[in-house]
Every structure is written in structure tokens, then in C-alpha cells.
Chain A
Amino acid sequence: MIKAVMMMNTQGKPRLAKFYDYTPVEKQQELIRGVFSVLCSRPENVSNFLEIDSLFGPDSRLVYKHYATLYFVLVFDGSENELAMLDLIQVLVETLDKCFSNVCELDIVFNYSKMHAVLDEIVFGGQVLETSSAEVMKAVEEISKLEAASNSISLVPKSVSGWRGR
């Protein structure tokens, strides 16, 4: 089971954090800081895996990937495959890339809710739900379409009337 998904930038600022078991805010911060301090002390060209029992309890592993200014981090237990998790990060990033066409850190910051929508399509309640980025894209697009539709229903009249009022 996946315990947490985190994204943080190279300065250690969290950009997105999702814990699949309830974790109090302070604990979350502590974990994020702990993970970051481990990550930034890693030399380059080493493996992407970490055993991280000290932070997340026994049998916890961590896989991370470093893209430009961001770390993508997955924390999970022994029932997942490390290499597969590494590819899950890849799926996530590919999907984001399709979503935002050439994704970068600020896309993630400014599209907080969309990020969560994408993540929820891929990882659901700590289990890998969908690994085909095309499928994820389809779902996310459908969501945004419907959201936009429902949005326009409620918002258009207002804006139209406002516009007429002018």
C-alpha cells in the first residue's frame, strides 16, 4: 500500500502532500522535513530507493525522482515493487505533462485542485488504481469539462447580467 505521495521543490517547500492514512498536520510537516533532509543529502547518480523505517515505521520504503526543481516522492510498504513505483512516478509526471503541456513547478502550485484530481485517478485510497496515463487524462478531462459546464450554468447568468448591467 502506498502511504504517502509528496512533491516538494529542491528548497524543501512542499508543493503537494497527500497521506493515505490520517496524519496530523504537525506530523505531516515533520515527515516532509525528514524526507527532504534525507533526499537533499543523497549524492547524484545513486539509486532512487530509500529504506525509511526511521520516519514511517517498519517496512517502509521510499522512491523518489528528481525532475528539474521538483522531487516526486512515493512512500509505500513491502507489498509494492520499488521499480514499479518508480514507474508510477513516471506515469504521474507524464500525465501532468499532458495536462499542462510541459509541466513545471508553478503549474503544480497554481493548479492545486487539478493536481489532486490527477493523483486521485492514479492512486486511490493507497492503492494503485490506474496506470495508463491516457485513461487518467480521459477521466481528468471529463471532470474539467463537466466542472466547466456546471460552472457556466451557475456563473454565466451572473456574468451576463453583470455585463448587461453595464
Chain B
Amino acid sequence: MEQLKTIGRELAMGSQGGFGQSKEFLDLVKSIGEARSKAEEDRIVLSEIDILKRKLLEPDVPKRKMKEYIIRLVYIEMLGHDASFGYIHAVKMTHDDNLLLKRTGYLAVTLFLNEDHDLIILIVNTIQKDLRSDNYLVVCAALNAICRLINEETIPAVLPQVVELLNHQKEAVRKKAIMALHRFHRKSPSSVSHLISNFRKRLCDNDPGVMGATLCPLFDLISEDVTSYKDLVSSFVSILKQVTERRLPKSYDYHQMPAPFIQIKLLKIMALLGSGDKNASEIMSMVLGDLFRKCDSSTNIGNAILYECIRCISCILPNPKLLEAAADAISKFLKSDSHNLKYMGIDGLGRLIKISPDIAEQHQLAVIDCLEDPDDTLKRKTFELLYKMTKSSNVEVIVDRMIDYMISINDNHYKTEIASRCVELAEQFAPSNQWFIQTMNKVFEHAGDLVNIKVAHNLMRLIAEGFGEDDDDADSKLRLSAVESYLQLISEPKLPSLFLQVISWVLGEYGTADGKYSASYISGKLCDVADAYSSDETVKGYAVSALMKIYAFEIASGRKVDVLPECQSLIEELLASHSTDLQQRAYELQALLALDARAVETIIPLDASCEDIEVDKELSFLNGYIQQAIESGAQPYISERERSGMFETTDYHPQDHHEVPSHTLRFEAYELPKPSVPPQASTELVPVPEPYYSESHQPISTSLVSERESSEIKLRLDGVKQKWGRPSYQPTTAASSTTQQAANGITSHSDGGVGSSSSKPRSSYEPKKPEIDPEKQRLAASLFGGSSSSRTDKKSSGGHKPTKGTVNKPATVPKENPTPVQPPPDLLDLGEPTATISAMDPFKELEGLMDSSSQDGGSNDVMGLYSDAAPVTTTTSVDSLLSELSDSSKGNSRTYQSQTSKGPNTKEALEKDALVRQMGVNPTSQNPTLFKDLLG
């Protein structure tokens, strides 16, 4: 083959204008070719676009000119600019009778349009006509277009004609018709399933080209379903035999090889058919043996066939002789100087090694050479081979190598892959815990942000659970070695976030476990982490939780805890953090420090991360309450809509917060309000104006409100309402937490500890419980929207059947109860932003964190304890207002929410509110989904 030659000559040709293209086009190409920068090129192309836009609009463009414009459009689009303004002209050109123009039109549309483009509908008719054309070139052009432009819906429009063309006298047409049918099969197998026999028929076509083309669809079909093509084994073998015996026309020879591409395809098909089939394998072995003998390994294509033979042998049931031949071929590949062949050799080795593992031995040196080769592709292939041949005896070397390589490359995609392979091998074959932890440390250190978060969780779990044997001693040694290595690493600069999370968690859980390190030492280290990575909230969260555990263990073991000054300042800083999650953790930590040993021990038991936490998901403990409510006339809870996809997120990431949907536009239509739960209870009190019904309520139905609501349903909490009567958050927190705990029924033992702390503030508030002052209520309603009424409905209707309501279901409740009232717009914005955020954040964030870090039952309780703290603080801005309303605004927290979404307000609403309060249903906010995600 003559190598391409550069330069000059064609400039001369260009000036001859011998290509049927105008000077302008040549100038365009030339000027783009000479453009010095991307910007310059863009400028040229943009001005060309302008010119074309103008010219295409001119009336009566001569067809020949038009053809050139289209080609220019194609060219422009290839350079990455939008040429959609000219698509329609390309479509028009396909209608032309002139073959040249038609082909140009087809070429352009196949490059421009995709199968779902609107303009396709204009082409289908033309294609149909062209498929019937007498001129086979027109037919070919149409078949060509079919491959790109026909989608599932339009297949039936052209299918009959394509099938007819399978018998066309021209082999070029038959060939393309087969390919078009193959394409249909790929797009929608069902549409051509009845035509599959045609492929078999075409296999016997007189023309080798058509036969060769038929192998493509057959390959696909056979890989989908091997058994129904077993009968073809002998046909394929005999075809291959004929090919190798040079029975095909000379024109199919390529570099003195008879039809090598057909051979390769046949070998691929045979590999599929012969795998696990002894009979078929035996039939094939003859011809394969011949191939090994005949193949000319001096040419590229000869080697391609050899490689394909190796591949085939590795798939079928091996015959020792063939295996030997394959091994020989591989060693030839590996010894070759060509990198391509080495690559194929390594690949072949990787395949054969599954059948005869000892084959690699003799090629050790070659493999090592490839590992050190400057060629990256080869190196990667070799690592793949190593990965396949890893055993517990060689895992250390291989993984070390892999890690070294991982450190050396910059390609994140491959880095991720190789990191996950390292992890996999280490988990599978680790010779010792020590080594395992060291390896994981290295992986995390160098690719920490790339590895899957699951890997981190696995590591934590592994450290927590040990290696499965019931050997506590070994486990604690493992932990100790982990802690030690982390303490060494922790001061390194710039560790990946994920790694720090693991470190923090392990240090928190086991840092002080065997007494080697003092609590103050570990906590100091954790504070350093939180300081050094102050922009990473996740890490900070982990660090604070770890601190909490360490202090909890200290308190529980009866030692006096002295909080380091830097910890103290960290806590203080976080108390005022913008992140509600961090804030909450800080409050939790602060509160924990004030508890006594017994309480702390139940909250955070020592080394309990692997203990199961029992959750009564059915909330059966509420049955009595529901019964009561129903007896007193409440509506049973009806769950109608599943909130799909609402609680999938468990990762702790700020962007995962669910309030997003409530703030963004919804593009789908709102669902129609359900007629089944017209607010009968409320209608007695409140005439509900229908018109507002759907409008005012559907938006709320997003997670935000409902999530809160969902918990409210099952909680009966009298103390909470005082939340709004007082600027301080503390009492509320305590009060809500008690109820929460009781309600959720998690680890009942924790009640003792919690109760001791919470009962006091609660009782102090009890006497203050207000009668409802209608005046104030109205004011509250006018301030925060009458939606409180809607809430009450929810409670009353929803409260009846929480048993049925698994965590997801309560979400539907709010939608069922319309609030008919209009919000006072001027006040709306007051509560909106803060309320939403505060309502959501802690739970969402906690979910993620708890999920990953602490499985210990104790911490759940603590979370519950303080889960209210954050919302309250964020809403304190409103407190001044609220305090005026004080007692009257019972359950305002909810008012808030409904207001955020709607904020309607009327007197009727007030009355509803009153009704609810009489029924004694009062919500707190605790997110039941938290526990579901954690444990379910």
C-alpha cells in the first residue's frame, strides 16, 4: 500500500476545480485548514453559516448549487456547528430524481438526523418509493438510509419491501437488505422475529459477499440463543473448510489469505456454538487444527485469524492437541516485537489461563516485560491478566503492582477501575488483616475520592465485624492495627474525604477501645481533622459523631471527661453552623456530655455497631390509639398513593435534600384530587370551596410537608405546642424527643435515659398548657395561614391507621385534605424559606450519616432526642412574632409547613384547628423514614 503523501499536489488539483465543487467550497476548506486557532476557525465557520443561511433562502437555487450547499452543511456540522437550519433542504433533496442529488440528500440526512427526528416522516415515503426503484443504486441508497433513519414505529412501513429485496438479482442489494434486516432486529427484535429464517436461507447464497454479510446477523442471533442453531454447526465448519481451501473467488483474497474476515466471523460463531458442547467441539477441532497449520503468521491478518482460533479454543471444550497449538501460537505472539501481537498474546493468555492455569508459567518473563512496557494499552491488558490469575499466593505482589500503577496514572476512569479491582482482590485473597488494612489505606489514600462509597462502608463493616471467625482476640488486633495505621496517616495533608470518613468512624468506634490511646489523644486528632478539612461537612459530621462516641464511652466507663479546649471551640463553632446537620450533631454532643453514665451507656453502647436494632415498622403499638380515634368518629386512614422514589437517597450529600422538588417547578400535571377522602370531618366545620381544592393542595404533596406529617400521625405530644410560646428551643427538643421515642418504640431501654433528661422540662410546661384563645388563634392563622386546619384533618383522618401506613404511606395524607383558603400573601414569605429547610434537613442528612457510620442503636436514640433542635433554632427568627401569639398557636410547626407550600388562611381554618386540638392529636416532627432507611 502506498502511504499517503502530504502536501502540494492537491492544491494544484484544487485549482483545476476537478471535484465538481465550487471555488467557494475549496476556499472554505482551505481557510479552515489554515486557521491558526479554534477561535479563528469558529469565526470562519460562523460566517459560512451566515452565507449558507442566506443562500438557502434564495428562490430558485439551481439544484447543482443546492447540492454543494448541502455538502457544505455536512462539513460544517462535522466541525461541530449546528446546521439544523438546512436539514429541510437535505430532506427535499432526497426527493429529487437525479441520482447524484438523491444520494447526496440521503447522505446528508443520514448524517444529520436521528431516527426520532420530526423530519423523518417526510422521508419514509421517499424511501418506500426508492426501495421499489429499478435502479439498484437508488435501492442501495435507500437501504443505507433505512439503517439510520427507521425506528421501531416505521419498520413496518418498509419491512415488506426489504424482505422482497432479499431476492434481488444484484448481490449488492441482497447484501444490504440483509444488513437492513439485521438492523431492524437490533432495534426491535419482535418486529422481524418471523423473518429470521431468511437469514438461514441467505447463508446458502451463491455470492460469498452475501453469505459473509449473513454471518453478522447470525452471530447476533446465535449469541442470544445458541440451542436453536446447533444444527448449523456442520454447515459453518464446512464453509470454513471451503474458505481455507481457497474455494472462494480470488477477489476475496486479502494479503494472500482467503476471505479472512469471513473466517474470523465464522470462528466467532463457532466459539459460541461449541462452548460446552462436546459434539460440536469435536466437529470443529479438525478445521481448527488445519487453520493453525495453514495460517501465515507473518501477516497481520494471518495473526488475526490465529488469535481468533485461540479465542475459539478457549470457548469450546478443549482438546489437548489444540490447546497445545494455541499455547504455541500465544508464545509466538508474546515473543514478537510487535506490540499489537504482544497485546493479543496477553489477551489470549488471559483466556486460556482459565482452562489450563499452568500455561502462564512459561511466559512469566514475557508478562513481566509487558508490565514494564511503555505502552499503556499493553500494560493495562497485562494488569487485566494479572487480575485474572491472582491467587492467595501472589496477591500481595500483584496488588502492590496495581497500586503502584494506579498511583502513576491520571486517567480517573481507569484509576477507579483499578482501585476497585485492588479492593476486590484484597477482600478476596488477603493473607493477613494487617496487609489488608495497609492495602486499603493505600487505595484510599491515592484514589479515595474515586472509589465507590460502598467500598468504604464495606471496610468499616469489616473492621467492625472482624473476619468472620469467632475470634475476638483477632478482631481486636485487627482494629488496633487499623487504629494505629490511621493515627499515623491522619496527619498527612490532603487525604480524600471518603478516607477521612472511614478514619473518623474507626477512631470514634475503636480509638479508645483497648486503652492504648487516651480519649483526649484521639479526640484531639479528630478535632484536627475537623479543623483541617473545615470545608468538608461530611467529614466534620463524621468527626463530631466520632467525638461523641469517644466521650460516650468515657462517660459510660465512669471516667471523668474533660473536653479539650479545641474540642470545646469546635463544638461551639458547630453550634452556630449553617449546616443543620452539623448543628444538630453539636447539640447532641453537648447534651450527651451532660448526661449520666447509665443514660449514656444506653444511648451509645460500647462496640455495638453490629448490633441489630429492632424496629416495629408496623407501628403496632399505636393500634390502641387508632382504635380509640376511630371510635370517636375519626376516618380510617386510606393510603392511595405511593410516593414513588421519595426515600431512595441515603447518601449524605447536601444536594440530596428532598426539599428540592417543593421549590422547583413541576412540569407534570398535578394529579387529580382524590374524591374518596373529601374532608368530611372538616366540612362540618368548614365549607370547603371546591375550586381551590386541587390548586391549593397538590403542591404540598411533595416530600417536604408530608414527611413531617407522616410522623405526626402517630405521635401524640402535648408538650410540643409550647414550642411557639417560648423563644428557647430546649424544652421543645426534650419534649418532642420523648414522644418520638415512645412512638417509634425503638430500643425501649433507652427510654429510661432519655426520659430522665426530658421529663423535667416537659413537666414544667404541662401546667402552662393553654386554653385556646380564639383571638390569638385567628391572628396565628392569619399570620401563618389557615393551613393548620388542613393539618388537623390530616391528623384526624391519618391518625386512624398508621399501622397500615408503612413509612411511605402517610405522605399521601396531606393531599387528601384540601385547604380551601387563600394565603395572605404579604406574610407568606416570612416563614417560607427557613421553615422548609429546617423541617427537612436534619432528617435527610442524618439518614445518610447513620446509614453509613453508626449502626449502633444508641445513637439513633440520641438523634431522636435532638432532632428537633435544629428546626427550632432556624425558626427563631420568627419567634418574636410568635411569642405574641404564644400559646394560641398550638402546633404551629405545622402551620409553618403548610404555609410554606400554600399558606391559606380563614376563620374556618381556625375552627378546624380547634377541632384537632380537642381531639388531642398533636404532631411532633420525627421522620420515620429515617429508621426505615436505616434498618429496613
Binary contact readout A37-54 vs B (1 if CB under 8 angstroms, 0 otherwise) = 000001101111111011
A146 within 8 A of B: yes
Interface centre among A42, A49, A94, A143 (most CB of B within 10 A): A49
Closest B residue, CB atoms, query A85: B304
B568 within 8 A of A: no
Closest B residue, CB atoms, query A9: B33
User: Are A25 and B82 in contact, with the CB atoms below 8 A?
Assistant: yes
Closest B residue, CB atoms, query A102: B2
Q: How close is A133's CB to chain B, nearest CB, in angstroms? A: 8
User: Are B254 and A132 in contact, with the CB atoms below 8 A?
Assistant: yes
**Bound-complex Cα distance A23 to B9 (A):** 35
User: Are A120 and B340 in contact, with the CB atoms below 8 A?
Assistant: no
User: Are B64 and A155 in contact, with the CB atoms below 8 A?
Assistant: yes
**Bound-complex Cα distance A2 to B300 (A):** 20
User: Are B209 and A135 in contact, with the CB atoms below 8 A?
Assistant: yes
**Bound-complex Cα distance A73 to B551 (A):** 62
**Bound-complex Cα distance A42 to B377 (A):** 10
User: Are A87 and B111 in contact, with the CB atoms below 8 A?
Assistant: no
Closest A residue, CB atoms, query B344: A83
Closest A residue, CB atoms, query B77: A25
Q: Which residues of A are found within 8 Å of B79, using beta-carbon distances?
A: 13-14
User: Are B304 and A49 in contact, with the CB atoms below 8 A?
Assistant: no
**Bound-complex Cα distance A81 to B413 (A):** 24
B374 within 8 A of A: yes
Determine which of A88, A110, A130, A153 lies in contact with B209 in the assembled complex, contact meaning CB atoms within 8 Å: A130
Interface residues of B in 336-382 (CB under 8 A from A): 338-340, 342-344, 373-378, 380-381
Binary contact readout A97-128 vs B (1 if CB under 8 angstroms, 0 otherwise) = 10000111111011111001100100011111
User: Are B261 and A104 in contact, with the CB atoms below 8 A?
Assistant: no
Q: Which residues of B are found within 8 Å of A126, using beta-carbon distances?
A: 183
User: Are A81 and B10 in contact, with the CB atoms below 8 A?
Assistant: no
Q: Which residues of B are found within 8 Å of A113, using beta-carbon distances?
A: 71, 103-104, 107
User: Are B264 and A111 in contact, with the CB atoms below 8 A?
Assistant: no
**Bound-complex Cα distance A153 to B101 (A):** 13
A129 within 8 A of B: yes
A83-B304 contact, Cβ under 8 Å, with A43-B374, A43-B375: yes
User: Are B114 and A22 in contact, with the CB atoms below 8 A?
Assistant: yes
B525 within 8 A of A: no
Q: Which of B172-180, B505-513, B516-524 contacts A (4 or more CB under 8 A)?
A: B172-180
Determine which of B71, B183, B373 lies in contact with A125 in the assembled complex, contact meaning CB atoms within 8 Å: B183
User: Are A69 and B4 in contact, with the CB atoms below 8 A?
Assistant: yes
Binary contact readout B180-219 vs A (1 if CB under 8 angstroms, 0 otherwise) = 1011000000000000000000000000010011001001
Q: How large is the interface on A (under 10, 10 to 19, 20 to 34, 35 or more residues)?
A: 35 or more
User: Are B340 and A54 in contact, with the CB atoms below 8 A?
Assistant: no
Binary contact readout B266-308 vs A (1 if CB under 8 angstroms, 0 otherwise) = 0010000000000000000000000000000000110110011
Q: Which residues of B are found within 8 Å of A14, using beta-carbon distances?
A: 78-79
Q: How close is A18's CB to chain B, nearest CB, in angstroms? A: 7
B115 within 8 A of A: yes
Determine which of A81, A124, A132 lies in contact with B144 in the assembled complex, contact meaning CB atoms within 8 Å: A124
Q: Which residues of B are found within 8 Å of A130, using beta-carbon distances?
A: 175, 209
Q: Which residues of A are found within 8 Å of B255, using beta-carbon distances?
A: 87
User: Are B80 and A26 in contact, with the CB atoms below 8 A?
Assistant: yes
B260 within 8 A of A: yes
Q: Which residues of B are found within 8 Å of A135, using beta-carbon distances?
A: 209, 251
Q: How close is B115's CB to chain A, nearest CB, in angstroms? A: 7
User: Are B3 and A45 in contact, with the CB atoms below 8 A?
Assistant: no
Closest B residue, CB atoms, query A123: B179
Determine which of A81, A112, A142 lies in contact with B308 in the assembled complex, contact meaning CB atoms within 8 Å: A81
A128-B14 contact, Cβ under 8 Å, with A43-B375, A51-B380: no
Interface residues of B in 725-774 (CB under 8 A from A): none
Interface centre among A111, A120, A126 (most CB of B within 10 A): A120
Determine which of B4, B78, B82, B115 lies in contact with A16 in the assembled complex, contact meaning CB atoms within 8 Å: B78
How many positions in chain B have a CB within 8 Å of any CB in the partner chain?
89
Please classify the interface of chain B as helix (H, G, I), strand (E, B), loop, or mixed, using the class held by over half of its residues: helix
User: Are B179 and A129 in contact, with the CB atoms below 8 A?
Assistant: yes
User: Are A83 and B300 in contact, with the CB atoms below 8 A?
Assistant: yes
How many A-B contacts are there with CB distance less than 8 Å? 205
User: Are B216 and A87 in contact, with the CB atoms below 8 A?
Assistant: no
Interface residues of B in 240-260 (CB under 8 A from A): 251-252, 254-255, 259-260
A132-B251 contact, Cβ under 8 Å, with A82-B343, A125-B182: yes
A87-B3 contact, Cβ under 8 Å, with A54-B414, A130-B175: no
Q: How close is A94's CB to chain B, nearest CB, in angstroms? A: 5
**Bound-complex Cα distance A131 to B265 (A):** 12
Interface residues of B in 32-82 (CB under 8 A from A): 32-33, 63-64, 71, 74-75, 77-82
Q: Which residues of B are found within 8 Å of A129, using beta-carbon distances?
A: 175-176, 179, 209, 213
**Bound-complex Cα distance A102 to B209 (A):** 27
Q: Which residues of B are found within 8 Å of A25, using beta-carbon distances?
A: 77, 80-82
Interface residues of B in 399-422 (CB under 8 A from A): 411, 413-414, 417
User: Are B254 and A87 in contact, with the CB atoms below 8 A?
Assistant: yes
Q: Which residues of A are found within 8 Å of B183, using beta-carbon distances?
A: 125-126
Interface centre among A53, A110, A142, A153 (most CB of B within 10 A): A110
Binary contact readout B377-395 vs A (1 if CB under 8 angstroms, 0 otherwise) = 1101100000000000000
B6 within 8 A of A: yes
B26 within 8 A of A: yes
A146-B137 contact, Cβ under 8 Å, with A104-B5, A112-B75: yes
B803 within 8 A of A: no
**Bound-complex Cα distance A45 to B183 (A):** 38
User: Are B339 and A82 in contact, with the CB atoms below 8 A?
Assistant: no
**Bound-complex Cα distance A81 to B7 (A):** 34
A47-B339 contact, Cβ under 8 Å, with A84-B264, A87-B300, A124-B176: yes
A104-B343 contact, Cβ under 8 Å, with A18-B111, A29-B80, A129-B213: no
User: Are A132 and B252 in contact, with the CB atoms below 8 A?
Assistant: yes
User: Are A47 and B107 in contact, with the CB atoms below 8 A?
Assistant: no
A-B contact pairs, 27 of them (CB 8 A): A25-B82, A46-B339, A46-B373, A46-B378, A47-B343, A51-B380, A53-B413, A54-B413, A79-B268, A81-B304, A82-B343, A93-B4, A104-B10, A110-B19, A113-B71, A113-B107, A116-B111, A117-B107, A124-B179, A127-B179, A127-B213, A129-B176, A134-B251, A135-B251, A146-B135, A150-B100, A151-B100
Chain B residues at the A interface, C-beta cutoff of 8 Å? 1-7, 9-11, 13-14, 19, 21, 26, 29, 32-33, 63-64, 71, 74-75, 77-82, 98-100, 103-104, 107, 111, 114-115, 135, 137, 144, 147-148, 172, 175-176, 179-180, 182-183, 209, 212-213, 216, 219, 223, 251-252, 254-255, 259-261, 264, 268, 300-301, 303-304, 307-308, 338-340, 342-344, 373-378, 380-381, 411, 413-414, 417
Closest 7 CB pairs of A and B: A83-B304, A54-B413, A47-B339, A106-B10, A22-B114, A125-B147, A46-B375
